[in-house]
A and B are shown apart, each in its own frame.
Chain A
């Protein structure tokens, strides 16, 4: 069972992503579940700290929180070394190398480009 975490500060966007993933899991009948869908990065950290999980994380880069998505990703890495982190971003300048080196992210998705979602989930 793979745990999926979503962190996105925009309520509408969050629901959109969550629904998309839910449907995807259902259609493909994957062994996954959405464990946490939140706008507060600390919740994810707390969960990862107290549970040993290998998760799939969808993180927004620009959270309205003192922690940015990149910092959150780096912190998740400390507790979950093998998890897959995917950044969801509107940033057109794509802080691509930073994702790669700082967080060892799996992939990134540009927000208005949801067709990529499927590819990233694999």
Chain B
């Protein structure tokens, strides 16, 4: 589990040129640059530049690689902050000054230990926060420029600070002063991010509500349409009954037979080819899920796909995060619709089936063309629909793997493609 996660992260990491530059290129360049600037100086304890900074930079690079994977930008900041927190801790707890740290190996060891501890703690926190933030990625895109400049500002601030302090020598006063500045800056940064996050979440909630409202309006419009058709049918029905009673009154059995076969039977056929597909939706009581279903059902109907929803028993609640569930359903249904719209006479069945201690959601669609190999379907980048596609199902798998009580089963039976999402209560 952890290994696959790491592998996935590494793949994502290597794809991002930006991360690579920041973690592998930038630190050595800075190292060489600083060395060029201050390399001639000797540092406290008579150590040369290389002796003082090589271990830190090696650490920096390793940490960046590891943490850029999950926390881009923040790695450098984390490291600098933890470094300074170490100095603060050292000077407050053990009364060890910066000079002593650099001079004695045991102090240096202690310092490194603290450094590791702080950076691990901070990284874990950042990691958690970033994981949480990932679901807001689309919203954050609006603020991308702002975040970008903020981050660049922060990073450059830290680098300049290091450079300036280095120029004037890392005396303990300066380091302590820096520590306070960094802490203040950190607090400021967190506050800004927090405020941003707050407004983003609010905006997203409003958007969700709007979307839900739109879907429900579509639903009610559809229902009205259905009701209108039903009215029309009732009118026809009364007409039919009265003309039939007229035939019976005059005992015109032959006339009745022809009338029945020619007029009445065809209306029956018309009812069967119904447009009342949203009827079963009344049993889905979860508004969010209903909304997703409505929008997809109407989309499919507009495309002329024969789509049917079955929910024989009412579904009051589903033991899964609704946002995740809606994303899963959206992916599954979009795939089904995309497949079905390519071929005539294709159909999609959706069913909500209440089992003894689980809810089973099944989506079955017909396959028109070549039947894909099942093991390939879930691979990232695989798609039957050409290039630059195929993220849907691998995303779906990722979402499902995050929920403990949810399993996804994919089957191909003959010309039908089944997706079964089982959610345990």
Chain A residue with Cβ nearest B363: A97
Quick one: which of A92, A94, A97 contacts B353, CB cutoff 8 A? A97
Q: Which residues of B contact A68 (CB under 8 A)?
A: 312
A101-B274 contact, Cβ under 8 Å, with A68-B312, A94-B308: no
Whether A96 and B353, one on each chain, are in contact in the complex, defined by CB atoms closer than 8 angstroms, is no
Measured between alpha carbons, how far is A96 from B363 in the docked complex, in Å? Answer: 12
Q: B274 and A93: CB pair below 8 A?
A: yes
Contacts of B279 in A (CB 8 A): 93
Q: Are B274 and A92 in contact (CB under 8 A)?
A: yes
B272: min CB distance to chain A, Å:
4
Kindly count the residue-residue contacts between A and B in the assembled complex, taking CB atoms under 8 Å apart: 41
- CB–CB A70/B274 < 8 A: no
Assembled-state Cα–Cα distance A112/B264 (Å): 14
Evaluate contact between A97 and B312: CB separation under 8 angstroms: no
User: B313-372: which have CB < 8 Å to A?
Assistant: 349-351, 353-355, 360, 362, 364
Min CB–CB distance B421 → chain A (angstroms):
12
Query: For the complex, is A19 an interface residue (Cβ under 8 Å from B)?
Result: no
Q: Of all chain A residues, which has the CB nearest B273?
A: A92
Query: Whose C-beta in chain A lies nearest to the C-beta of B354?
Result: A102
A93-B308 in contact given A101-B360, A101-B362 (Cβ < 8 Å)? yes
A29-64 near B? 1/0 per residue, CB < 8 Å: 000000000000000000000000000000000000
Asked if A98 is at the interface (CB within 8 A of a chain B CB), the reply is yes
A23 in the interface (beta carbon within 8 A): no
Give the distance to chain B from A74, nearest Cβ to Cβ, in Å.
9
State in angstroms the CA–CA spacing of A98 and B350 once bound together.
9
Whether A13 is near chain B, meaning CB under 8 Å from some CB there, is no
Within the assembled complex, what's the spacing in Å between the Cα atoms of A93 and B272?
8
Q: Hey, which bits of chain A sit against chain B, CB under 8 A? A: 68, 70, 92-98, 101-102, 112
Given contacts A97-B310, A102-B312, A102-B353, 5 further A-B contacts (CB under 8 A): A93-B279, A95-B312, A97-B353, A98-B310, A101-B353
Nearest first, the 6 closest Cβ-Cβ pairs linking A and B are A97-B351, A92-B272, A95-B310, A98-B310, A101-B353, A97-B349
